[in-house]
Amino acid sequence: MPHLATYVGLADHSEQTLADSLRAVADGHAHLADVFHTCSQLAGWSDDHRERLAPVVRRYGEEDVAEPERLRADALEYPREGEVGLLRDLQDLHLLATLVHTTWTVIAQGAQGLRDEELLEIARHCDAETSRQISWFETRLKVAAPQALIVTP
Amino acid sequence: MADRTVHVWGARTPTARGSAWPERVDVHLDGVREDEVDRWVGAACVLCSNGCGCEIAVKDGRMVGVRGRAADRVNRGRLGPKGLYGSTPWASSPDRLTTPLVREDGRLVETDWDTAMGRIVERSRALLDEKGPLSHGFYTSGQLFLEEYYTLAVIGKAGLGTPHMDGNTRLCTATAGASLKESFGADGQPASYDDIEQCDALFLFGHNMPETQTVLWARILDRIEGSEPPRVVCVDPRRTEVAVAAGRTGGVHLAPRVGTNLALMNALTRELLAHEWLDADWVEAHTVGLEELRATVEPYTPEEAARTCGVDADDVRRAARIFGESGAVLSTVLQGFYQSHQATAAACGVNNLHLLRGMLGRPGCGVLQMNGQPTAQNTRETGADGDLTGFRNWENAAHVEELARLWNVDPMTIPHWAPPTHAMQIFGYAETGSIGLLWISATNPAVSMPESPRIRRILGGDQCFVVVQDLFLTETAALADVVLPAAGWGEKTGTFTNADRTVHLAEKAVDPPGEARSDLDIFLTYADAMGLTDRDGSPLVGWRTPEEAYDAWVEASRGRPCDYSGITYDLLRERGAVQWPLGTTRLYADAEFPTSTDYCEDYGHDLATGATTTEQQHRATAAAGRAFLKAAAYSPPHEEPSEDYPLIFTTGRVVHQFHTRTKTGRSRRLHHAAPDPWVELSEADARALGIADGQRVRVESPRGSLEAPARIGPVTEGAVFAPFHYAGAGQANELTMTVWDPVSKQPTFKTAACRVVPLEGD
Ligand code: SF4
């Protein structure tokens, strides 16, 4: 099952990327208390997903074949400044989380085919939390957008 | 009469279970005898959320005292020390504002109304032309009248079209509203004060009622002294009078570590489920979410709660058993929960306990998600805060359409494209100048907001034009660009609603001093001067008097959960106190909740992150009249004690003062009863730090410090308590931090890490 292993590796990697990016955004916008605290909290969720996945990674191995490499996104290392910068950063987080989300969807399908209940349970649990991360990005985008676009100097 | 600053709750009138609370009329007059009073004018007290019915004594055109109204359902004649001694002296205080002030060369100078309003209008127009309505912010209070809030809401939402409106109710009761919306689909207190005489168990969650609502506590003390007293369960980190009552009645005092309320609520819920103390048929028929709730609370055994919260596991079991086995439970919730970490989730936890046992809408059974301020309920109802007028849902196009029709404006004017801006965010925008005009009415954020040095910087800076209307030149007004003198209670007419949906009419007793005007008149003057009109070019705000404003509000509330139909000024004059909706003692007696997607006030949130639930997700729950059992996992507070700051700082209220003491600080008696700030330490911590009772100390957090004498008191070990009422060197909010609950956006005053340094030479 080399391809499942590839996707398990991709899940691990993309969760890591998301966690790193969330922490970068938290620090970059630390003066916005809710952004700081929520992003830090959501980064913790991604860390937790990787921990849950760790035994599976050991079981299937973390195959690193060339093809899905193109799916890998880079972490957001340098958060942008200001209210418009926050909008862009949230959009980037949204993109990264969407990659995580679709990765879990793929893994859940594979786990069902294999009747690997342990993996299925992990994929479902993590994907549900990924959706909650995405919902928060959307909510926060909606809050920030009007003021950032219309009034901000 | 006895000095009620000493005998705070007055003499007992024991009340047996199921019988009516006896009358007892409390009176206080300043230097006149009762037979010398010229007139008594109907009103209700506005010094806390209880709403005690009273009459104002008038002598020679001055307010000289108050008397409780025996027939009033709320207080049956009683008044507490704040109401008795604090209601009228402020009005004749020599430092009242009597003329408008404007800033000239950095100083505030006296001027006339035309000049002051002219400056506001000039700035307002310029900003609207240049940047549009998002350049305007309004920050109001929990102390104006319904008519004033409604007028402000119409001006802001339909006239200007700004989403930046909030009240200081954000600081005191936003979580009450939020938790009611999450659980039941709309705001509105389910229970009635009459449930106090009917219940056999009383749970007070983070609610130091003996200090905050003294007359309500007197009512409970009377039950405790009567036959068949209820058992009292107290959840509070301090050993309050409620905790003492818990001991006396065979109840339990649970003292969770500051910031761990949710873990405790999850444990109590788990106990109910584990012992099947639930009304399974009722839950099945009238709620959704039981399985998720079960899964969420599963890890929270009593032992786990003991570890996380520092409580005794057996106490958790006993408290849960009292909830599980009593026949009628009444719960109240206040700041100890609302101003804490994970506030909305913890408050929803209380709603969940009642839902699991089907204990709502019946005599003795219910929840009071209490309000702190007297008229906070009306800020939420009218939409002078972030809510949409009449408990409408800003995400529901049909609701917005309805208001647009009522106000005869384009629906696009009414800001509904994003969640309304909460107070902390409004000040954030004012900080960067993105909000260029901030209008503050009847509140003192320079003292009451967290991180007050930052707030003072924002108000004092040039990036934002600040208008303040108030009774006095408060710390906030002193920083404003224009100050408008306002009339206070007794100097104007209006209605307000207390924490059990009781509406009172407070009539004008005397004229305001100098050129002071009612807040309603001030808002109307602005609307006129700005020429705000509806779609047909008629004045947007068509009313002139309080009664006309009230009638307009009744129209806006019609068909919504907070329906005021049938409650008129005449009826209020005749009956004194009337609950909304007319003839409804308790909400949800039919177990029909306002949760259908088309009717609800809110689609709900993820309690852990604050992400909004979408309309489709809400529809998918198919709640349709069933309540939501919502829960979240506990997470540790944002700022935990560290080596540098080993203690937890927590703030609260004291019995003789209210808010930032604008009124209570001007009553000689109340002032002397609690003149100065202090900080309270546990005996163990004081000993470890070598601090003696009465010694001056400095409390430091990463943000600021305060200095005050130490009192060794009943606060739990590891915590430091300070009252938040005082400005100056003892100002508690110097230390607190800008963090808020993800759902209610209520700031977390209750937790910040700190250290205490003894000072010498005192
Ligand atoms: S309990 Fe509240 S409303 Fe009643 S008299 Fe005291 S301060 Fe006023």
Task: Name every chain A residue with its beta carbon within 8 A of the beta carbon of B451.
Answer: none
The answer, yes or no, to whether any atom of ligand 1 lies below 6 A from the CB of B53, is no
Phi and psi torsions of B27, nearest 5°: -135, 145
CA–CA gap between residue B424 and residue A35 (Å, rounded): 13
Of all residues in chain A, the one with the smallest CA distance to B136 is A151
Q: Is B606 near chain A, with CB under 8 Å?
A: yes
Helices (H), B329-370: 335-338, 343-356
Q: What angle do CA B281, B313, B717 make, to 5 degrees?
A: 130
* Contact between chains at B611 and A139 (C-beta distance less than 8 A): yes
Each domain of chain B, given as residue ranges in start order, spans: 27-92, 101-161+375-579, 174-370, 647-758
CA–CA gap between residue B716 and residue B64 (Å, rounded): 42
The total of other beta-carbon atoms located within 10 Å of residue B347's CB is 35
The total of other beta-carbon atoms located within 10 Å of residue B431's CB is 18
Give me the residue from B131, B425, B606 closest to A132, CB to CB: B606
Q: What is the pLDDT of residue B731?
A: 63
Q: Is B428 near chain A, with CB under 8 Å?
A: yes
Q: Of B5, B7, B8, B47, which is best to mutate to test ligand 1, by the most ligand atoms within 8 angstroms of its C-beta?
A: B47
Domain containing residue A20: 2-150
Q: If you count residue pairs, one on A and one on B, with CB atoms under 8 Å apart, how many are there? A: 68
* Contact between chains at A143 and B131 (C-beta distance less than 8 A): no
Take residue B644 and report the two structure tokens written for it: 């540098």
The answer, yes or no, to whether any atom of ligand 1 lies below 6 A from the CB of B86, is no
Long-range CB contacts for residues B298-303, cutoff 8 Å, separation at least 24: B298/B270, B299/B266, B299/B633, B300/B263, B300/B266, B300/B267, B300/B269, B300/B270, B300/B634, B301/B267, B301/B270, B302/B267, B302/B271
Task: Name every chain B residue with its beta carbon within 8 A of the beta carbon of A132.
Answer: 606, 608-609, 611
| Domain boundaries B101-161+375-579, corresponding CATH code | 3.40.50.740
Take residue B38 and report the two structure tokens written for it: 């010229």
Sign of CA dihedral B237, B629, B637, A32: negative
Place of tokens 């004649």: B77
Give domain B647-758's CATH architecture: Beta Barrel (2.40)
Place of tokens 């032992």: B303
Q: Based on the number of CB atoms within 10 Å of its own CB, is B751 exposed (0-12), middle (13-18) or buried (19 or more)?
A: buried
Q: What is the pLDDT of residue B447?
A: 84
Q: What angle do CA B198, B200, B204 make, to 5 degrees?
A: 100
Quick: pLDDT tens for B591-625: 999 999 999 999 999 999 999 999 999 999 999 99
Q: How far is CA A30 from the centre of its chain?
A: 20
The total of other beta-carbon atoms located within 10 Å of residue B398's CB is 10
pTM score: 0.91
CA–CA gap between residue B712 and residue B693 (Å, rounded): 6
Relative to beta strand B465-470, strand B679-681 is unpaired
Ligand 1 centroid–CA B52 distance in Å is 6
Q: What is the pLDDT of residue B762?
A: 42
* Contact between chains at B418 and A152 (C-beta distance less than 8 A): no
Residues 131-150 in B contacting A (C-alpha not used; CB under 8 Å): 131-132, 134-135
> Cα–Cα distances in Å, from A109 out to A10, A37, A102, A103?
15, 33, 11, 10
Measured between CA atoms, how close is A7 to chain B, in angstroms?
A: 28
Place of tokens 């659980």: B183
Radius of gyration of chain B (CA): 25
| Domain boundaries B174-370, corresponding CATH code | 3.40.228.10
CA–CA gap between residue B204 and residue B238 (Å, rounded): 13
Q: Of B27, B52, B54, B212, which is best to mutate to test ligand 1, by the most ligand atoms within 8 angstroms of its C-beta?
A: B52
Q: What is the pLDDT of residue B753?
A: 83
* B171 sits in which H/E element: helix B169-172
- Whose Cα sits closest to atom 2 in ligand 1? B48
Instruction: Evaluate if residue A67 carries a pLDDT over 60.
Output: no
Q: How far is CA A138 from the centre of its chain?
A: 14
Task: Name every chain B residue with its beta carbon within 8 A of the beta carbon of A47.
Answer: none
> What are the DSSP calls for B374-442, one per residue?
TTHHHHHHHTSSSSBTTTB-TT-HHHHHHHHHHHTS-GGGS--SSPPPPHHHHHHHHHHTSS-EEEEES
The answer, yes or no, to whether any atom of ligand 1 lies below 6 A from the CB of B82, is yes
Q: What is the pLDDT of residue B321?
A: 98
Take residue B452 and report the two structure tokens written for it: 């007050």
Low-confidence ranges of chain B (pLDDT < 50): 761-762
Quick: pLDDT tens for B725-747: 655 555 666 666 667 899 998 88
Q: Of B9, B82, B172, B661, which is best to mutate to test ligand 1, by the most ligand atoms within 8 angstroms of its C-beta?
A: B82
Would you call the peptide bond into B190 cis, given omega within 30 degrees of 0 as the criterion?
A: no
Judged by DSSP in three states, B104 sits in strand
Of all residues in chain B, the one with the smallest CA distance to A145 is B418
Work out which ligand 1 atom sits closest to the CA atom of B82.
Answer: 7
> What are the DSSP calls for B596-620, one per residue?
STTT-S---B-TTT-PBPPHHHHHH
- B27-92: what CATH class? alpha beta
- For A95, residues 6+ apart whose C-beta sits below 8 A from its C-beta are A73
Count of domains forming chain A:
1
The answer, yes or no, to whether any atom of ligand 1 lies below 6 A from the CB of B494, is no
The answer, yes or no, to whether any atom of ligand 1 lies below 6 A from the CB of B604, is no
* Contact between chains at B424 and A33 (C-beta distance less than 8 A): yes
Q: Which CATH number do you get for residue A8?
A: 1.20.1260.10
CA–CA gap between residue B560 and residue B186 (Å, rounded): 10
Work out which ligand 1 atom sits closest to the CA atom of B498.
Answer: 3
Ligand 1 centroid–CA B548 distance in Å is 28
Judged by DSSP in three states, B538 sits in coil
Task: Name every chain B residue with its beta carbon within 8 A of the beta carbon of A81.
Answer: none
Query: Is the separation of the CB atoms in B726 and B718 below 8 Å?
Result: no
Q: DSSP code of B753?
A: E
First to last CA, chain B: 38
Q: Which of B262, B609, B749 to mutate to test the interface with A (most CBs of A within 10 A)?
A: B609
Tell me the residue type at B739: V
ipTM for the complex shown: 0.90
Q: Which of A125, A147, A149, A152 to mutate to test the interface with B (most CBs of B within 10 A)?
A: A147
First to last CA, chain A: 54
The total of other beta-carbon atoms located within 10 Å of residue B315's CB is 17
